[in-house]
Structures are given as structure tokens and as C-alpha cells.
């Protein structure tokens, strides 16, 4: 097999190793995938400014965000169904992140539970939540996150209703996976994946099992989301979260400067410029195009992270140039996990590290904490 030296290499290997329904869940976007494609295209359109005759022999790739040391300005964002891309996937991802020295955020919609991940690592991780109609369930999740020593809660706010993801029902995606006429061939062609997932600790939503007894299938999950996710949530509800969570709060799903200002006014510790990987409002702008306006609106009052389309170290560098302190990977993480498990995640982080280091040097820069818009070609 040829060497794996890019995220795209890992993506192609993942495509071969997991069933199409699982792969497409990570790989694609909502509706006509306009926003999904914008995330990639707008990053690619930014041009780096090559500089020469600069001493770049001593580079600083490490940074500090939210009071935590990161070995590189890249963390692993929350992704649903992770444990279906590789058995015990959330546990493996958290271990890889811990060993590499970057943060890991566990999704509420994970396969492995909060407790499963806590048992796999020593370093505190983050936990992602949605505000639900049943606040007692939110309270229960927060208490479990406290007990697991999570250092931050990431509140996702761009999903008051679920986006129109056309590929999932077409592919017959179900939780836990079921053999149907649509997917039996896909599963049969991937016996290694099937055996590993069957032998994993869980095959359904570990954090939700007690609340979803006797349910299953994408239709039921969609119905459960429609029943539980609260479309009446407003900024006032952050007060409830702050009253019930004494540690750091990150808000994810900010795409507009006015919302960024409101987030700061409501005391969030950090925000993620995100459009849910192009999986929610199709037709929305890309995250990288939204970033400069949000940075200007926040004016240094909150740490800013970015996700959406991050596939290379150059993408990371471009986000830093436009004011982000760091980036989160979701799709790239799932490709790596599906391709090679924990080793694949470590490889993906190392690929991004090497690409970032080379690109930083060739722009005549030395420190990821001091990158400015000057390393981009003015437009």
C-alpha cells in the first residue's frame, strides 16, 4: 500500500473500509451541499504570501487556548456516531489526542459514553451538549461530565432543528447498524469493520441508552431529536447552563458577528466559528469567510476557534492568519479513525503538524501565536 501522507489519503482508505452509509454520514453535507463545498473552496482560494531570506530555523507550533497547552493549534471536535467508524472510536480518539497533546471533545451523540472515555484517558477532555426540552436530562449529562473531570462544556447552538441531510435516509443509515437489502452488500464487503464494531464496547448511543430504550433506526432517532432538541432556546438559557456548570463554556455554531457579540456579552469563554461542517443550513457562508468579521466583533474578548473544511496544515495556517487561535477537525478525524484506528488519528495530527510547520516556514513566520494577515496575499 502506498504511504499515507495526506488527509485525502486517509479519506480514500476510510471510504474502502467502512460501509457507504457510515462514510457518507461523515463525508457529506446537507441539502444540495452548497455550504459544504464553500468550506473547502473558500479555504483553497486564499493565497499564502511566500517570503524568503528569513531565519525560520526555530519554530513555535505550540499554543495555549482556554488555559490549556496544545502541542499544535488543532483539536478534535465533537462528532456523532464516532464508534461506528471504528470500534471504541471515541476512546481511541481521546487517547490519540492525549498522547499528541491536543484537546478532544466528546459528542452527546457518541457511541462510547462519557464514562467509557474517562476510563481510557488521564487528561481531562471536553464534552459537547445541546440544550434539550428535558432539562433534567441536561442536568444529568452535566453531572456525569463533572464526575468525568471534563474541563469544558461545548454548547452547540446551530441545531434547533435537524438539517436536511438527504444521503442518510437514502443510504439506510440506522443506529445500531442493521442489515437491510440496501446495505447488506456494503457490510459483507467489509467483514473486518463489521467484526470490530460487533466486538466494540457499544453499538448505540452510550450517553442516551437509558433514555432511548427500545428505540432504533434513523427514523426513530430523528423523531427523538425532534422531541428532545429545544427550538425555543435563546441567549437567556445560557444563564441556566452557567448556573449548572462551574467550568469553561465554549459555544459552537457562531457564524454571524452579531451572534459573536452576544456570545461575549453572555460570558462564554470561547466560541467555535462553525456551520456544522455544512450539515445544517445549506446556503450559509463558509466558516473561513465568516471568521474575519467575527474576530473584529469579538475584539480579543474571547478565544476563537474554527472548524469546517480543515484538511491540511495550510488550512490551519490560513485560519490563524485571519484571527482564529486554533482549529477543530471533525471529518478529518473520522477519516483517520476509520482508516487506521488510534494510529490513524495520530498520523492525521502528525500530517497536519508537518504541513503547518513547512507552510509557516515558507511564509517567513516562526510562531503560530504571532501569525497575522500579512502572511496572506492581499485581495
- Beta-sheet pairing, 105-106 with 126-129: parallel
Write the DSSP string, 222-291: HHHHHHHB-TT--TTHHHHHHHH--SEEEEEEE-SHHHHHHHHHTT-SEEEE--GGGTSSTTPPPHHHHH
Closest-CA residue to 355 (of 9, 5, 27): 5
Q: Dihedral sign, CA of 235, 239, 245, 249?
A: positive
DSSP 3-state helix, strand, coil percentages of the chain (rounded to 5)? 45, 10, 40
276 in catalytic set: yes
Angle between helix 34-45 and 287-298 (nearest 10): 70
Write the DSSP string, 278-324: GTSSTTPPPHHHHHHHHHHHHTTSSEEEE-SS--SHHHHHHHHHTT-
CB neighbourhood size of 249 (10 A): 21
Residues paired with 231 in a beta bridge: none
Q: Which of 276, 325, 331, 353 is catalytic?
A: 276
Q: Which residues are catalytic?
A: 276
Amino acid at each position: 500500500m502506498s504511504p499515507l501522507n495526506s488527509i485525502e489519503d486517509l479519506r480514500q482508505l476510510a471510504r474502502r473500509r467502512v460501509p457507504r452509509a457510515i462514510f457518507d454520514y461523515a463525508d457529506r453535507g446537507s441539502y444540495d451541499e452548497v455550504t459544504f463545498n464553500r468550506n473547502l473552496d473558500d479555504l483553497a482560494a486564499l493565497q499564502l504570501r511566500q517570503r524568503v531570506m528569513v531565519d525560520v530555523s526555530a519554530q513555535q507550533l505550540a499554543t495555549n487556548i482556554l488555559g490549556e497547552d496544545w502541542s499544535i493549534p488543532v483539536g478534535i471536535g465533537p462528532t456523532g456516531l464516532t464508534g461506528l467508524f471504528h470500534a471504541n472510536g471515541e476512546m481511541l480518539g481521546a487517547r490519540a489526542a492525549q498522547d499528541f497533546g491536543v484537546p478532544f471533545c466528546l459528542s452527546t451523540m457518541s457511541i462510547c459514553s462519557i464514562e467509557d472515555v474517562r476510563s481510557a484517558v488521564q487528561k481531562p477532555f471536553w464534552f459537547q451538549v445541546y440544550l434539550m426540552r428535558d432539562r433534567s436530562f441536561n442536568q444529568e449529562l452535566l453531572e456525569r461530565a463533572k464526575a468525568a473531570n471534563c474541563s469544558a462544556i461545548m454548547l452547540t447552538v446551530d441545531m434547533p432543528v435537524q438539517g436536511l441531510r438527504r444521503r442518510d435516509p437514502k443510504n439506510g443509515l440506522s443506529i445500531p447498524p442493521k442489515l437491510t437489502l440496501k446495505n447488506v452488500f456494503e457490510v459483507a464487503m467489509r467483514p473486518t469493520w463489521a467484526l470490530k464494531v460487533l466486538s466494540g464496547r457499544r453499538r448505540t448511543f452510550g450517553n442516551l441508552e437509558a433514555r432511548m430504550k427500545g428505540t432504533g433506526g434513523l427514523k426513530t432517532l430523528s423523531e427523538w431529536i425532534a422531541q428532545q432538541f429545544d427550538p425555543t432556546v435563546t441567549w437567556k438559557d445560557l444563564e441556566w447552563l452557567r448556573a449548572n456548570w462551574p467550568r469553561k463554556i465554549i459555544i459552537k455554531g457562531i457564524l454571524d458577528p452579531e451572534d459573536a457579540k452576544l456570545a461575549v456579552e453572555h460570558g462564554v469563554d470561547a466560541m467555535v466559528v462553525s456551520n456544522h461542517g455544512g450539515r445544517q443550513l445549506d446556503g450559509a457562508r463558509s466558516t473561513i469567510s465568516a471568521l474575519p468579521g467575527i474576530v473584529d466583533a469579538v475584539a480579543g474578548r474571547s478565544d476563537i476557534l474554527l472548524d469546517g473544511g480543515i484538511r491540511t496544515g495550510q488550512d490551519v495556517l490560513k485560519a490563524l492568519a485571519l484571527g482564529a487561535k486554533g482549529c477543530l477537525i471533525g471529518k478529518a478525524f473520522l477519516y483517520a479513525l476509520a482508516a487506521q484506528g488510534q494510529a490513524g488519528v495520530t498520523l492525521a495530527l502528525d500530517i497536519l503538524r508537518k504541513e503547518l510547520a513547512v507552510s509557516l516556514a515558507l511564509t517567513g513566520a516562526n510562531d503560530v501565536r504571532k501569525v497575522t494577515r500579512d502572511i496572506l496575499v492581499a485581495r
